[in-house]
């Protein structure tokens, strides 16, 4: 074994960057153990106890950064150290400033790119409305990725946008595909004739990927932000998006995705849908008894919405169990809030009580015991740390807890691929599950396409190799979990 | 390589194109430093903030989303795209902070920020319940890279950090127990805890910041003074200069907005609010501060329960 240390004098890196670098260095080929610590006496004790403190590290001061690694041989150690240096030197990893020449203002960006007609705003929520106003003053549509923007600001921005005929997508708009260009968290899907309008980012991703995997394509996918159908906003962005897709010659069918809005908003939106010459699929997840106009079909799940857009019949009844039946509860650990909602609806449809930290109508707030669906993208899990779609380690501890709980029979998870997402979420999950028995009780869906940077087929293969049961969609994963429960056959038989 | 300081620019020599950003609020200690005026250099640049080093004191200039703090200046603008780099020289005066030709932070509109007073605590029995509930949440929700999971839940020391931390934390418990039982506090055993752990501010330092805040909040003057004196004396040799600067502030009774909110929530018995506030602080630092605060809370509340019963 070879131990190598490198000391960076008076170097301060952000804690999250240090943590990520530490993991990346430890995962380099040939590295047995690695650590990245400031050189305090107490930290040297950790490195000494791990057998990776060398002479250089011993000489570090408390304000220095020590990179310490142990590798199987000298060549592997030298190669790993060289790669580790490159990782530490990558300015974007340290959250360092943009390189010289980068544009600092929206005005400068417009001067550099005068044909631009859309600005993507991703700044702390406190500043997002001001930046959006600057962009709109320059005649740009805006997509506001930022969250924590006050509702009153959203209403004011959207009213101003309506007056100027500028679309305000968001705030908290995480996904869009405009004229084939994916924005923020989106998947690489072919161009086609189906348009999507969604208040939910992961909802847009799931439907667009299911359509792409069926061989069709997307004209535009327009995110509206999760609150657009609130009465205070009045569906301004949704209605403008319908106008836009209605007038778009490349769009033949339009899919609408949202949580159930208030009755008045439902009427407002469906009245506009009814005036269109195009066909629609309306998926108000969890809404009951929506009276659709003649040119629209109602879908109750994201999978059903994709099937409807493809002109296929609605999905059939829940499948019967394929493997052995299990006694216990289902624990869902979701990065996508819409997936968490869809799974709850599937359980309620199957006559099963379900709880969640973000309950849909009919579900209950988190309680001890019972089927439990957790949205790990909820603010309480993501404040001060990355979203689970960026850093899948957010799920590690809840997953370990669920697998260690004898009352949990099945664990449901979502793996979301695409631009902006983690480069290898399945690989990370497989690492977490390595050495554990009975991983078939982990049921996963993989949202993505083979054109995504992570390549869906590779991700599915990694999960299957780890023993995970992989379903075709999130709805299928929930159905698989339900079917795996002891007594499901009787319960399904008793359902109307 | 040392942190060299470039020649600082004289007032008025900033090029016209350098952006001017207003400072909205200054923490108590930051305000004192800028009022005195000094020279400094950029020690670190992050996505939402930068650190200026002036002697042994570090000033943080950050966007509003990072929260107020005793050594923090809140800027009315975006920090991350200013093109700043470590070692650039800076001049600090009561009117402005100038960093080379890169940026001028104006202090004309700056208002002072002080952490608010501590709220009254719920009864000791509720405080014990709160500590227990926090320990349960820490067992699954605290980041495995920090100390909180091990220190709060009593979990097996499963990580190298936890194994090394086990003894110093046990010694800290023993000190607090003994100090509570005696009129004069025994010597505080900080060796092995201060400067321990990963991150910009080591976990052990965060733990001590949390403990100091809770001792202050519970008006444990004697214990706070003993711990504060020990921390201030030990920090320069045992932890990084940046973390030592923050520890000295905590020892002087100054805590940041998010730590204040977390401790206040614990005193109110609201575990989820405490966790939410702690998560604003950083990946593991907030949880480690919570661990220190909750440790002090439990050890102080338990004897009260015993006395009452």
Q: What pLDDT does A327 receive? A: 78
Contact B198 A18 (CB under 8 A): yes
CB-CB: which of B164, B239, B242 is closest to A49?
B164
In this predicted structure, which of A143-147, A312-316, B74-78 has the lowest mean pLDDT? A312-316
- CA distance, residue A375 to nearest chain B CA (Å): 14
Mean of the pLDDT values across residues A248-271? 93
Q: Is B22 at the interface with chain A, CB within 8 A?
A: no
- Chain B nearest-CA residue for A105: B81
Interatomic CA distance for residues A378 and B200, integer angstroms: 26
What sign has the CA pseudo-torsion A449, A452, A458, A463?
Answer: negative
Could you give the 3-state DSSP secondary structure of residue A433? Answer: helix
Structure tokens at A95: 């959250």
Q: Do B192 and A45 touch (CB under 8 A)?
A: yes
B21 touches chain A (CB under 8 A): no
Instruction: Quote the Cα angle for A383-A389-A392, to 5°.
Output: 85
Q: For A39-86, what is each residue's pLDDT tens digit?
A: 999 999 989 988 899 999 999 999 899 999 999 888 888 988 888 888
Nearest to A63 among B64, B241, B281 (CB): B241
Interface probe with B: pick from A8, A11, A12, most Cβ of B within 10 Å:
A12
Query: Which strands make up the sheet holding A141-144, listed edge to edge?
Result: A118-121, A141-144, A168-169
Domains of chain A: 2-94 (3.30.70), 103-172 (3.40.50.720), 176-316 (3.40.50.261), 329-485 (3.40.50.261)
pLDDT tens profile B202-248: 999 999 999 999 999 999 999 999 999 999 999 998 999 999 999 99
Percent of chain A beyond pLDDT 90? 59
Averaged pLDDT for residues A335-361: 91
A171: cis peptide before it, omega within 30°?
A: yes
pLDDT at residue A105, rounded to an integer? 78
Task: Extract the tokens encoding B87.
Answer: 């070692």
**How far is residue A297 from each of residues A265, A312, A341, B75, measured CA to CA in Å?**
18, 12, 21, 51
Candidates B46, B145, B195; nearest CB to A40 = B195
Distance from CA of B75 to the nearest CA of A (A): 12
Residue B306 has a pLDDT of: 67
Q: Is A12 within 8 Å of B51 when comparing Cβ atoms?
A: yes
Residue A74 φ then ψ, to 5° = -65, -40
Mind telling me how many Å the CA of A77 is from chain B's nearest CA?
Answer: 21
Mean per-residue pLDDT over chain A, rounded: 88
* pLDDT at position A91 over 50: no
What tokens does A234 get? Answer: 């009045």
**Which pLDDT score, from 0 to 100, does residue B228 have?**
96
Residue with tokens 């609150």: A227
Among B149, B200, B208, B270, the residue to mutate for chain A (most A Cβ within 10 A):
B200
B279/A9 touch (CB, cutoff 8 Å), yes or no: no
On average, the pLDDT of chain B sits at 88
Q: What is the pLDDT of residue B9?
A: 32
Where residue A494 falls among pLDDT bands split at 50, 70, 90? very low
Question: Considering only CB atoms, which chain A residues are within 8 Å of B168?
Answer: 42
The segments of chain B whose pLDDT lies below 50 read 1-16
**Beta-ladder partners of A334:** A375
Report the alpha-carbon distance of residue B73 to residue B109 in Å, rounded: 12
List the single best residue of A93, A97, A129 to mutate versus B (max B Cβ within 10 A).
A97
Pairs of residues, one from chain A and one from chain B, whose beta carbons lie less than 8 Å apart: 162
| Mean pLDDT (whole number) for A294-308 | 95
A372-420: pLDDT as tens digits: 999 998 767 765 567 888 888 889 989 998 999 889 999 999 999 999 8
What's this model's pTM, rounded to 2 decimal places?
A: 0.55
Write the ipTM. 0.86
Percent of chain A with pLDDT over 70: 91
What pLDDT is attached to residue B291? 96
Chain A residue numbers touching B21 (CB-CB < 8 A)? none
Q: How far is CA A453 from the centre of its chain?
A: 15
A321 has a pLDDT exceeding 70: no
């Amino acid at each position: 074994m070879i131990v190598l240390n490198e000391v960076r004098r008076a170097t301060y890196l952000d804690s999250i960057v240090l943590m990520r670098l530490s993991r990346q260095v430890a995962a380099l080929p040939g590295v047995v153990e690695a650590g990245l610590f400031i050189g305090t006496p107490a930290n040297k004790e950790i490195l000494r106890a791990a057998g990776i403190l060398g002479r250089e590290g011993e000489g570090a001061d408390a304000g220095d950064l020590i990179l310490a690694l142990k590798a199987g041989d000298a060549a592997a150690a030298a190669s790993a150290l060289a790669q580790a240096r490159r990782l530490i030197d990558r300015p974007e990893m340290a959250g360092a400033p943009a390189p010289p020449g980068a544009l600092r203002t929206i005005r400068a960006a417009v001067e550099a790119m005068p044909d631009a007609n859309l600005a993507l705003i991703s700044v702390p929520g406190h500043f997002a409305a001001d930046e959006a106003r600057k962009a709109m003053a320059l005649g740009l549509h805006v997509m506001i990725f930022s969250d924590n923007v006050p509702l009153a600001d959203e209403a004011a921005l959207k009213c101003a946008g309506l007056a100027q005929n500028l679309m305000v997508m968001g705030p908290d708009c995480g996904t869009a595909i405009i004229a084939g260009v994916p924005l923020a968290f989106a998947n690489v899907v072919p161009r086609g004739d189906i348009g999507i309008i969604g208040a939910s980012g992961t909802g847009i991703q799931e439907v667009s990927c299911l359509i792409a995997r069926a061989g069709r394509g997307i004209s535009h996918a327009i995110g509206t932000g999760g609150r657009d159908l609130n009465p205070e906003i009045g569906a301004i962005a949704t209605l403008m998006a319908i106008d836009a897709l209605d007038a778009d010659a490349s769009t033949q069918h339009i899919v609408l995705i949202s949580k159930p809005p208030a009755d008045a908003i439902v009427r407002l939106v469906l009245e506009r849908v009814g005036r269109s010459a195009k066909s629609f699929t309306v998926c108000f997840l969890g809404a009951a008894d929506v009276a659709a106009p003649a040119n629209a079909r109602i879908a109750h799940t994201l999978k059903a919405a994709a099937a409807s857009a493809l002109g296929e019949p609605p999905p059939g009844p829940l499948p019967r169990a394929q493997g052995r039946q299990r006694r216990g509860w289902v624990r869902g650990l979701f990065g996508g809030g819409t997936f968490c909602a869809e799974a709850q609806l599937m359980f309620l449809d199957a006559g099963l009580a379900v709880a969640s930290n973000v309950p849909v109508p009919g579900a209950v707030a988190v309680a001890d015991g019972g089927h439990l669906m957790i949205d790990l993208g909820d603010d309480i899990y993501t404040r001060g740390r990355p979203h689970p779609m960026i850093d899948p380690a957010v799920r590690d501890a809840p997953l370990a807890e669920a697998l260690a709980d004898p009352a949990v029979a099945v664990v449901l998870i979502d793996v979301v691929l695409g631009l902006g997402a983690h480069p290898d979420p399945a690989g990370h999950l497989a690492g977490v599950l390595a050495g554990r028995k009975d991983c078939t009780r982990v049921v996963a869906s993989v949202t993505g396409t083979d054109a995504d940077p992570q390549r869906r087929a590779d991700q599915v293969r990694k999960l299957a190799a780890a023993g995970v049961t992989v379903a075709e969609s999130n709805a299928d994963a929930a159905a698989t979990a339900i079917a795996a429960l002891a007594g499901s056959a009787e319960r399904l038989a008793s359902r109307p | 390589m040392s942190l060299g300081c470039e020649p600082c620019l004289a007032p008025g020599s900033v090029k016209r194109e350098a952006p001017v950003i207003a400072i909205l609020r200054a923490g108590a200690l930051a305000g004192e430093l800028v009022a005195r005026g000094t020279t400094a250099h950029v020690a670190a640049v992050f996505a939402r903030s930068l650190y200026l080093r002036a002697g042994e004191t570090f000033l943080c200039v950050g966007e509003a989303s990072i929260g107020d703090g005793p050594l923090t200046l809140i800027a009315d603008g975006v920090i991350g795209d200013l093109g700043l780099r470590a070692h650039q020289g800076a001049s600090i005066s009561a009117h402005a902070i100038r960093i080379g030709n890169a940026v001028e932070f104006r202090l004309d509109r700056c208002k002072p920020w002080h952490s608010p007073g501590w709220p009254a605590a719920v009864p000791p029995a509720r405080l014990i319940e709160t500590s227990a509930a926090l320990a349960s949440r820490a067992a699954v929700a605290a980041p495995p890279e920090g100390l909180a999971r091990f220190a709060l839940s009593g979990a097996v020391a499963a990580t190298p950090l936890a194994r090394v931390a086990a003894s110093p934390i046990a010694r800290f418990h023993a000190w607090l127990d003994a100090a509570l039982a005696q009129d004069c506090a025994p010597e505080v055993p900080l060796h092995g805890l201060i400067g321990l752990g990963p991150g910009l501010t080591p976990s052990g330092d965060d733990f001590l910041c949390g403990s100091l805040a809770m001792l202050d909040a519970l008006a444990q003057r004697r214990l706070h003074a003993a711990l504060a004196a020990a921390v201030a004396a030990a920090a320069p040799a045992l932890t990084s200069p940046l973390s030592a600067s923050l520890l000295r502030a905590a020892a002087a009774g100054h805590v940041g907005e998010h730590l204040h909110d977390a401790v206040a929530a614990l005193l109110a018995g609201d575990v989820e609010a405490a966790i939410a506030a702690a998560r604003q602080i950083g990946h593991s630092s907030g949880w480690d501060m919570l661990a220190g605060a909750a440790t002090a809370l439990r050890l102080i509340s338990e004897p009260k329960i015993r006395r009452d019963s």
